[in-house]
Amino acid sequence: MSRFEIIVFSMSSHITDSVRFAILNAKCPQCRRGNMFKYKLWNLTKFYKFHILCPVCNLRFDIEPGFFIGAMYISYAMIVIMVGIIWFVLYVIFRDPEFEVYIAVIFSFNLVLLPVLFRYSRVIYLHAFGGVKYNHQFRKDLK
């Protein structure tokens, strides 16, 4: 392995070990390698199905019964931010259209972004409140 390949491998390894990478790619908080969800985001009929155990480290994602009910608060916060941005754009750029336009646009965005909001509210909730720490042992196993 050349020196350049070692540097690129160590940089890519560092990037894939970051919390940001794990959250954006819906990876396990413990190993940051295993996928939390069974199917891709764009599979609209199965976007919500997730693994009970991590395929890499066997971490149980559903820590206790009803654990992901708390993810509704994350989802609510994401929707409030989305509504605020939509309101601002409609009010400032489109010069305050009719009330029905606000309702239609907000409803449409909420419907289109449902899979994203569902997934990332669970991912963020597990990473933030799951009490799971990153285990460096899984990084060593890859080398």
Residue range(s) defining the domain that contains residue 7 = 3-142
**What is the number of domains present in the chain?**
1
Cβ contacts of 44-50, under 8 Å, gap ≥ 24? 44/115, 47/115, 47/118, 47/119, 48/115, 48/118, 48/119, 50/122
**Mean of the per-residue pLDDT values for the chain?**
85
Q: Where are the alpha helices (DSSP H) in 17-132?
A: 19-24, 71-92, 99-112, 114-129
For residue 14, the model assigns a pLDDT of 58
For residue 13, the model assigns a pLDDT of 52
CA distance 81 to 109: 12
119 or 137, higher pLDDT: 119
Cβ–Cβ contacts within 10 Å for residue 121, how many?
21
CA distance 106 to 93: 16
Structure tokens at 67: 């654990």
- What's the mean pLDDT in 69-76? 94
For residue 126, the model assigns a pLDDT of 92
Please choose, from the candidates 49, 48, 13, 47, the residue with its C-alpha nearest in 3D space to the C-alpha of residue 31.
13
Percent of the chain residues past pLDDT 90, beyond the cut: 53
What contacts 124, CB < 8 A, 6 or more positions away? 23, 71, 74
Say if residue 47's pLDDT is above 90.
Answer: no
Beta-bridged to residue 27, according to DSSP, are 35
